[in-house]
Structure 1
Amino acid sequence: MINFNGTLATQDSNVLTQNRGFLYGDAVFETVKIVNAKVLYLEDHYFRLMASMRVVRMEIPMNFTMEYFEEQLISLTNQLAISRSARARITVFRNDGGYYLPTDNTVSFLIHATALDAVSYSFDEKEYEVDLFKDFYITRQLLSSIKTTNRILNVAASIFASENDLDNCLLLNDSKNVVEAIQGNVFMLIGHKLITPPVAEGCLNGVMRKQILKLAKTIEGIEVVEEAISPFELQKADELFVTNVIKGIQPITKYRKKNFKVNVSKQLISKLNEIITVA
């Protein structure tokens, strides 16, 4: 079961014929976590989606309000009888017509959802090893900061990680600085300084990134900054972790011969779960 333009349809419905999202990557998307029929960080997701549509010159429908956005997500999870926790993705694509140059800037959307095992964010104690992915680089530009369906670099990095028995890879930009991980933003703790790359470096303007920047400032003794991360600094780090809205925080325990602590990661996960409890 999916939600196609506000209408519930079967999963095998043919909505991909001449689809510009499929043909040209002419689509943007948001992945959200829904807990007890509530979209977490709804406002942040909605405004990022609207900003993404504006960047790529899509026409935003008059009825596409934040309330409509929420209603469509919840209606699908209700239909699927997912009551506690769900992962849902809304993909907005430009309507058929044209080749590279579209003949129409109106849009359609598609939502699908799956159940998640847990409501709260959990702390995974297992080893989590990463390395650098250097086959392709992220460019420092506005398109890199939004979620489009052109994610072939992330696909290639995921295959590289699998082939090399890694849990994830750190992606580099065209200045050879660490930008993010395959499926989330990256944070590095050195001493009492928590660092994440600024959006200008080419990283995704992540919804969970924003939450972590805010929560980390409430931890006494931690200085939170946005600045470029050189690969050479990774060996000096005390902690490394990846953030996204589905997982929350994934601590990195190993990079090459360096092992990392997880103390601040644990504190932040606890703070995230307090927010969910309040919500």
Structure 2
Amino acid sequence: MINLNGELLEEKNANLSVYNRGFTYGDSVFETIRVINGKIMFWEDHYFRLMSSMRIMRMEIPPSFSPEFLEEEIKALVSANNLSSSPARVRFSVYRKEGGYYTPTTREVGYVTTCSLLENAFYLFNEEPYEIELFKNHYINSGILSTIKSNNRAINTLGSIFASENAYNNCLLLNEKKNVVEALNGNIFLVKDNIIKTPPLNDGALNGIIRKQLLSIIKKLPEFALEEISISPFELQKADELFITNIAVGIQPVSKYRKKIFDSKTSKTLLSKLNVKARLG
């Protein structure tokens, strides 16, 4: 079942127009959300990021889009797909209603929500080899548009094809200043000695939900110093650890970048604390 503008429909009946602006212009934003046994993980953060993304895209936020209303919409869809007692992955997409060319004729929005079964309720530590490389064919522009989750994901798509063609598990993306910004599907963290670094949002890094959770966790750990600072590609091979974060996997440790093999002690520690926070939150 799919939720299309508040109506629960079977997938074959949930149709969007070919003139939908999310398709024709990428005029759409979305959230990927974990729902565990009917409970939305980090819902407040998802909600406020969605509202912020809509404002940045100059979309008109409907009066009905309260946290309570959208939460019930998500839970109703999960229930309709018989996933209320299972871990589920939900994608909540908001698009500007059709009309116009580059200049829209309206700022009103529609929405579509899908969900699927997740394998595990909480985040598991992945000890399988995980090799990454830089993707240098195209660059992310530093600035506020790069921090939101929109349908404009050409660089991520091309980078994913490059990774697949060259047998890498993931790639890191650079901005126009040649600084490391993020991975293809999440934020990047670097550990060197007792310092944990991650690129700042003004470098073009996605304002990730798990990124935000980890920043909060790390700040409370006296054994680590946290820096939101630009990261040069030259720092990567000098690091003790690299790990990638997103809502789907939590923390993904990187085992290899070029000739460097990384430890994963810090990412394992942080993953256990993230699971605790998810259970409590």
The answer to whether the superposition gives a TM-score over 0.5 is yes
* 1:95 corresponding residue in structure 2: 97
Which of 145, 155, 159 does residue 153 from structure 1 map onto?
155
Cα RMSD (Å): 0.9
- Which digits, 9 at most, give the CA deviation of each residue in 1:226-259, with x for residues without a partner? 0000000001100000001111000001000000
Separation in structure 1 between the aligned mates of residue 135 and residue 17 of structure 2, nearest angstrom = 32
Inter-partner Cα distance in structure 2 for 1:142 and 1:276:
27
After superposing the two structures, state which structure 1 stretch, 188-197 or 10-19, moved more: 10-19
Pairs within 5 Å for 1:77-92: 77-82=78-83, 83-92=85-94
- Structure 2 distance, partners of 1:277, 1:138, is 34
Name the counterpart of 1:2.
2
* 1:58-77 equivalence runs, <5 A: 58-77=59-78
- Whole-angstrom distance in 2 between the partners of 1:16 and 1:73: 23
Spell out, residue by residue over 1:66-113, the C-alpha distance to the aligned partner (whole angstroms, 9 max, x if none).
111111111001000012211100110000111111101100000000
Aligned mate of 1:182, from 177, 181, 184:
184
Offset of residue 141 of structure 1: 1.2
**How many residue pairs get matched?**
279
Query: C-alpha distance in 2, partners of 1:114/1:197?
Result: 31
Shift of 1:218: 2.8
Aligned-residue offset at 1:135:
0.3
Give the structure-1-normalised TM-score: 0.98
The one-letter amino acid of 2:42's match is: Y
**CA apart distance, 1:275:** 2.1
| Offset at residue 60 of structure 1 (A) | 0.3
Deviation at 1:120, TM superposition (A): 1.1
Structure 2: distance between partners of 1:170 and 1:96: 34
Structure 1 SS opposite 2:64: coil
Deviation at 1:38, TM superposition (A): 1.0
Q: TM-score, normalised by structure 2?
A: 0.98
1:274 — aligned with what?
276
Q: Secondary structure at the match of 2:277?
A: helix
Deviation at 1:124, TM superposition (A): 0.7
Deviations 1:255-277 (A, max 9, x none): 00000000010011101111233
- The amino acid across from 2:274 in the alignment is L
Of stretches 112-121 and 212-221 in structure 1, the one that deviates more from structure 2 is: 212-221
Runs of 5+ in structure 1 lacking a partner? Answer: none
1:253-272 matches, within 5 Å, as 253-272=255-274
Q: Of 141, 162, 165, which residue of structure 2 is paired with 1:139?
A: 141
Q: Which amino acid aligns with 1:14?
A: N
Aligned partner of 1:112 in structure 2 is 114
Give yes or no for contact 2:42–2:278 (8 Å, CA) kept in 1.
no
Query: What are the ranges of 5 or more consecutive residues in structure 2 without an aligned counterpart?
Result: none
For 1:142 and 1:253, locate their aligned partners in 2 and report how far apart those are by CA, in whole Å. Answer: 31
1:206 equivalenced with 2:215 (yes/no): no
Aligned to 1:54: 55
Residues 99 and 105 of structure 2 are in contact (CA less than 8 Å); yes or no, is this contact kept in structure 1? yes
One-letter amino acid of the structure 1 residue matched with residue 68 of structure 2: E
Q: Deviations over 1:123-157 (max 9, x none)?
A: 01110000000000000111000011010100000
- Equivalent residue for 2:174? 172
Amino acid at match of 1:145: T
Cα distance in structure 2, aligned partners of 1:79 and 1:169: 36
Superposed CA deviations along residues 150-177 of structure 1, whole A, max 9, x for unmatched, are 1010000000000000000000000000
Partners of 2:141 and 2:173 lie apart in 1 by 11
| Contact 2:241/2:262 (8 A) holds in 1 | yes
| Amino acid in structure 2 at the alignment position of 1:5 | N
Shift, 1:185, TM fit: 0.2
Match of 2:26 in 1: 25
